[in-house]
């Protein structure tokens, strides 16, 4: 990943928004968190870009500035008349977050552009989610982008189920577009029900790998750690790292970013998984979804 001639391009594709906590607004959105974490982890060893939309408003301008400050390219982010997305976040005593999403925001209306087409053609890995498909225009744009990505690239699906903005159909339609899938232990039972699957979490993940010809399936379990399974039958099951949790916002997105970088770097499964666990644990000790990544966790 250090050869400039082969510098990978990693893309966050989908919603850009602000998480509004009781103490103030913090920049976020799962694919935006993913992109910012990837930039912090990869440094100069990869080029990180965001594909999505913001409003022509103060939050939109602040979002573009946040990306730029973190080293994320925004050439493929459209500026639209619709307002920049926002989510009201409530964090309980255990540090776990719940979300109330504003309707009909810029991220629901992402148009196809020439900039998106150029970015798709260069992409080495892209992370998209079920939530980003909430709006029909964004759904069409996301699918067009994924179709335009070169076949060797990683297409990473973050199954991000935010009621009421998901349906079994969205899950069923998204999985065939992916090479890698990640979900958490609250989401896996809903995914299993949507697909008519049953059994242990590992059995369900194995069925996903087989049915959708996936390269890797990841299950995050909060303080209980995480499980990775691969198409060749390998697995890695790690217990959670004990930390003083401030909030869990963005931890799963940082975990996914570390997985993406490890896969692109050809890391062994155990090394890749251990690093992703350390990254996620660190993010849980910070406020908001895009904290600066410390030097000890960077790979480039």
Measured distance CA(172)–CA(195) in Å, rounded = 7
Domain limits of the chain?
Answer: 4-288
Arithmetic mean of pLDDT over the chain: 92
DSSP strands (E only) in the chain = 9-13, 17-21, 24-28, 47-55, 72-80, 85-91, 97-101, 125-129, 154-158, 180-184, 216-220, 226-230, 235-238
In degrees and rounded to multiples of 5, residue 155 shows phi and psi of -110, 110
Give the pLDDT band of residue 5 (cuts 50, 70, 90): very low
What confidence tier does 300 reach under pLDDT thresholds 50, 70, 90?
low
- What pLDDT was estimated at residue 95? 72
Percent of the chain past pLDDT 90, that is, above it, reads 77
Question: Sign of dihedral through CA atoms 102, 145, 248, 42?
Answer: negative
Stretch 191-212: mean pLDDT? 96
The residue among 229, 159, 155, 230 whose CA lies nearest residue 193 is: 159
Residues 6+ apart with CB under 8 A from 2: 45, 300
pLDDT at residue 280 above 90?
A: yes
d(CA 166, CA 168): 7
Can you list the alpha helix ranges (DSSP code H) found in 81-200? 114-122, 136-148, 168-174, 188-195
pLDDT at 199: 96
Residue that has been written with the tokens 């050439």 in this structure: 75
Q: Where are the alpha helices (DSSP H) in 154-239?
A: 168-174, 188-195, 201-211
Q: From CA 5, how far away is CA 25, in angstroms rounded?
A: 39
Task: Spell out the residues 6+ positions from residue 150 whose beta carbon is closer than 8 angstroms to its own.
Answer: 121, 123
pLDDT tens, position by position, 139-198 = 999 999 999 999 999 999 999 898 888 889 999 999 999 999 999 999 999 999 999 999
pLDDT of 1 reads 40
pLDDT score of 4 more than 60: no
Burial grade of 135 (CB within 10 A; 0-12, 13-18, 19 or more)? buried
pLDDT given at position 131: 92
pLDDT at 3: 41
User: What is the per-residue pLDDT for 117?
Assistant: 98
Q: Contact 19/289 with Cβ under 8 angstroms? A: yes
- Average pLDDT (32-43) is 96
Instruction: Say what percent of the chain tops pLDDT 70.
Output: 98
Is 50 exceeded by the pLDDT of residue 226? Answer: yes
Which tops the pLDDT comparison, 28 or 126? 126
CATH number of 4-288: 3.40.1190.20
Three-state secondary structure call for residue 129:
strand
């Amino acid at each position: 990943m250090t050869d400039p001639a082969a510098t990978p391009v990693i893309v966050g594709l989908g919603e850009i928004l602000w998480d509004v906590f009781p103490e103030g607004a913090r920049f976020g959105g799962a694919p935006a968190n993913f992109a910012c974490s990837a930039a912090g982890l990869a440094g100069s060893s990869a080029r990180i870009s965001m594909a999505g939309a913001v409003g022509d408003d103060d939050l939109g301008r602040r979002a573009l500035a946040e990306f730029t400050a973190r080293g994320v390219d925004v050439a493929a982010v459209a500026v639209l008349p619709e307002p920049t997305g926002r989510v009201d976040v409530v964090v309980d005593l255990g540090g776990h977050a719940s979300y109330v999403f504003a309707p009909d925001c810029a991220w629901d209306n992402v148009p196809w552009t020439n900039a998106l087409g150029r970015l798709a053609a260069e992409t080495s890995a892209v992370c998209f989610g079920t939530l980003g498909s909430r709006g029909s225009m964004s759904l069409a744009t996301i699918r067009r982008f994924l179709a335009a990505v070169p076949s060797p690239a990683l297409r990473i699906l973050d199954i991000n189920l935010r009621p009421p903005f998901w349906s079994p159909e969205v899950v069923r339609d998204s999985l065939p577009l992916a090479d890698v899938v990640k979900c958490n232990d609250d989401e896996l039972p809903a995914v299993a029900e949507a697909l008519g699957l049953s059994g242990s979490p590992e059995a369900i993940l194995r069925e996903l790998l087989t049915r959708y010809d996936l390269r890797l399936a990841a299950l995050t379990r909060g303080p209980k750690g995480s499980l990775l399974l691969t198409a060749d039958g390998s697995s890695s099951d790690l217990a959670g790292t004990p930390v003083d949790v401030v909030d869990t916002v963005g931890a799963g997105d940082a975990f996914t970013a570390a997985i993406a970088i490890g896969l692109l770097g050809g890391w062994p499964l155990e090394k890749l998984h251990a690093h992703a666990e350390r990254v996620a644990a660190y993010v849980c000790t910070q406020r908001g979804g895009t904290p600066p990544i410390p030097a000890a966790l960077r790979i480039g």
